[in-house]
Structure 1
């Protein structure tokens, strides 16, 4: 697989394209966000060119099929690393790039506050993305709280947000980062949205995904991610990388930046 990708000359990376903070397609066709930047990190490791990447926008229902059929090389799409996915889908996961947790979002006008809990959504219509861990998690949380809810699913988070704004969804649920991004960018002037509970209802370790048993390609993805973590620990940024390479603070930073020792 690695030779095939190198021969093509660019990385094909699956993203959401609509997820605020993580991957948003801009009017000019560019893609911005944390996930998109990690696609560029892997491209830089492969080709020495962060721009050598083709972005493919995928829904939650499309993402794993795109890997299985070879439409994409790697999926970096806010995807939770779970035991069942790791053992049953014939795919491998790379290092976690963001530790998230599932929360709920509702309108303050409906009586919700940041101190609300799962028990407070009794009888609510809760909207979630189809085929995700969030769909099952919110049902499990409701069962644990001894309440009944109606879970309605959509293939795209834009649909969820629009239905929430129009009042068709009483509550929406997703990773906390996704909810915070939607609140910041899409909350109408005549509504106030609140995110709760303070302690997420699940753990959501988000990681890259790639075809199973492709160890050489996996090495590139994994160590490209690790390099960004080491760089952050050492205070190495795009603004100071040249200076750091000339005067590395320690041996590990020196090796990271291409030196020896």
Structure 2
């Protein structure tokens, strides 16, 4: 019996091997499996999927330098890995480009005000740690005659395609038994240009994005962001599937920035804090203990370098959206630390 079936089993094994080689894993997973960290180190810089058109989050200064809340996070990772916050390349992505760029490992980090959802976690990549709690809202003109969502029936709404915003919009109108006409654009700037030109009554997105865009309008005061939130939008950096070490590094950097604010470690005092009597500060800054840097192949002071390069979480937020922010002012609200009434929380670094 064994002699009779052995050739058949051999053929089946060969066939299975060939099919496996042909089908393989998705290209992004295969590339990630080779080791994102090793590729980053060999390349000498971090490729960050971001944007250049959203004040406060991803933009260009007058010299063409990338700035923003999301961009500073990429710089923090580069500082932790290379000791150089400028060791980044920002790849501008449209909303539709975000998933494919992460799936194919075109970018090492996706830090582009991206909402973390269950389907994206399964399909796009690994989402790290929520860095900004947001929610979808609506913006209208003051003179529109609209006073609440009860006046939305039959409205035209400008929205970006391929986003949770588009899906939430559909769900909202369906849930409330109202009709609307969607004016859809792939490029986010086109959405707001159309709205400002009067091609739609309403525009919708994350409230932080609406505040950002309104700040750049010719007459910001002519527009109102309604006091209603229709969704949860946890904005979270993502990394490609397949490399746990890289995933851990990016998460740890986010943990460090949040813990630094909680512990009072700033961009200005990080070196002085290395002689602190607080054991949690000493661990965070790599003076005492091992927070995992040995296993991850990083230097003991990697997180200290990240903090020294961009500041703690609160410093990054205030740089762009605080009372003296260079983009606009947006109260922190849920983006306050957990011990100050907000939701921003990170595991201890130790």
TM-score range, shorter chain: over 0.9
Select the residue among 242, 249, 256 that pairs with 2:284.
256
Structure 1, gaps ≥5 residues long: none
Residues 249, 158 of structure 1: CA spacing in aligned structure 2 closer, same or farther, 3 A cutoff? farther
C-alpha separation in 2, matches of 1:23 and 1:90: 21
Q: List aligned pairs for 1:146-225, cutoff 5 A.
A: 146-188=177-219, 192-196=222-226, 198-225=227-254
Q: List aligned pairs for 1:41-52, cutoff 5 A.
A: 41-52=76-87
Residue equivalent to 1:236: 265
Structure 2, gaps ≥5 residues long: 1-35, 290-350
| Other structure's SS at 1:109 match | helix
Select the residue among 157, 166, 176 that pairs with 1:145.
176
Q: CA deviation at 1:176?
A: 0.3
C-alpha separation in 1, matches of 2:37 and 2:218: 43
C-alpha separation in 1, matches of 2:64 and 2:71: 13
Residues 1:23 and 2:58 are matched in the alignment: yes
**Which structure ranks higher in relative contact order (CA pairs < 8 Å, sequence separation ≥ 6)?**
1
| Other structure's SS at 2:71 match | helix
Residues 187, 202 of structure 1: CA spacing in aligned structure 2 closer, same or farther, 3 A cutoff? farther
| Other structure's SS at 2:120 match | helix
TM-score (norm 1): 0.93
Aligned residues: 254
Counterpart contact for 1:187–1:193, Cα < 8 Å: no
Q: 1 or 2, which has the higher strand percentage?
A: 1
Counterpart contact for 2:158–2:203, Cα < 8 Å: yes
The CA RMSD measured in Å over matched residues stands at 1.5
Q: Deviating runs (4+, > 6 A) in structure 1?
A: none
Q: CA deviation at 1:161?
A: 1.3
Residue equivalent to 1:57: 92
C-alpha separation in 2, matches of 1:32 and 1:123: 39
Higher Cα Rg: structure 1 or 2? 2
Counterpart contact for 1:112–1:194, Cα < 8 Å: no
Q: CA deviation at 1:187?
A: 4.4
Residue equivalent to 1:129: 160
Residue equivalent to 1:109: 143
| Other structure's SS at 2:216 match | helix
C-alpha separation in 1, matches of 2:228 and 2:219: 26
TM-score (norm 2): 0.70
Q: List aligned pairs for 1:63-78, cutoff 5 A.
A: 63-78=98-113
